[in-house]
A and B are shown apart, each in its own frame.
Chain A
Amino acid sequence: MENKARKTSEHEDMTPARRCELLDELKSAVAQAQHGDEEAFSKVGQLLMEFPLLAQSFVDLARTVERSYIKTIYRDDPLVQEALPSQLNAMREELAGAEPSPLERLLAERIVACWLQLQCADLVYGQNLGEMSMAESEYHQRRLDRLHKRYLSSIKTLAQIRKLSPAVQINIAEKQINTAG
């Protein structure tokens, strides 16, 4: 009980700076563990368990990013601003599936956010197509290519996590998640 209260409070108190610090720590532990470092391997598990609501805190970030995109790109279209969030919610639910783990939820959020980013990029490119210089057009095409790759890679990661399930059992949030097998 006390432990849960501590973790909830950690989540609430987690500043963006602390989040970045924690992620860097996790990233470096993952890289070392990949090279067979036993200590780093334990640290990865420890970090995942110690900060159970980390994934959830990034789900909130995903929603913020999503709102920014909608507000900025569709600023002149209140109808889309109104309708798009429910479409995104439906996509999210479908991707996350029934009873998703926090990690699956985060990965589904990422796919939806990548999809939205790609749609927005496509829209901006389409709207300016006739008026763009060569340099502008190349910039948009490169951006579209990059976002498309990221979108596909996001889908692949969620599929991978599901494929390798249910052997991976790690507490990365309050409940146990299954991620590999």
Chain B
Amino acid sequence: MAWEKRQRGGYYYTRSRKVNGRVIREYVGGGILGEASARMDAAERQRREEKAALWREERERLEALDGQMEELYETAEVLAKAALVAAGYHQHKRGEWRKRRGKQSTKD
């Protein structure tokens, strides 16, 4: 979004946007029309920025919660695996748990 100075001295408000990957410059106008369009664009830009900031905040909040949960999830997984391994089991190709032949539990 920019004001362009014309050769005859007037100012013209323009906005650029992408159409099919190409940047198209739209000539909006000068005077009151240009001024109004510039204000509308600025307000829209601010709304988008606020929304993006809110989204970032929301995402960070969710990720912080998920981070705490991650530790709990991992721990339970490790302890369950440890209990099975100590009992003489092994995980076959990351799938089912099978008793290792001739293996006793660590208690034995």
Contacts and interface: CB of A to CB of B under 8 A. Distances in A.
The answer to whether A and B belong to the same complex is yes
Interface of A: 20, 23, 26-27, 29-30, 33-34, 41-42, 44-48, 54-55, 58, 61-62, 64-65, 68-69, 72, 103, 106-107, 109-110, 113-114, 117, 120-121, 124, 136, 139, 143, 150, 154, 157, 160-161, 164, 167-172, 177, 179-180
Nearest to B108: A169
Contact of A168 (B62, B65, B84, B91): B84
A58 B71 CA distance: 9
A177 B83 contact: yes
Contacts of B68: 61, 64-65, 68
15 contacts: A23-B78, A48-B86, A58-B79, A65-B65, A65-B68, A65-B72, A103-B79, A106-B79, A110-B72, A110-B76, A157-B80, A161-B80, A168-B86, A168-B105, A170-B83
B72 A170 contact: no
B90 A169 contact: no
Nearest to B100: A36
Contacts of A161: 80, 83-84
Contact of A169 (B61, B73, B107): B107
B62 A124 contact: yes
B81 A30 contact: yes
B interface bracket (residues with beta carbon within 8 Å of A): 35 or more
Top 3 nearest A-B pairs (CB, nearest first) are A45-B106, A168-B87, A110-B76
Interface string B44-60: 00000000000100110
Contacts, number: 133
B76 A157 contact: yes
Contacts of A26: 78-79, 82
Contacts of B97: 160, 164, 180
Given A168-B83, A180-B83, A65 B89 contact: no
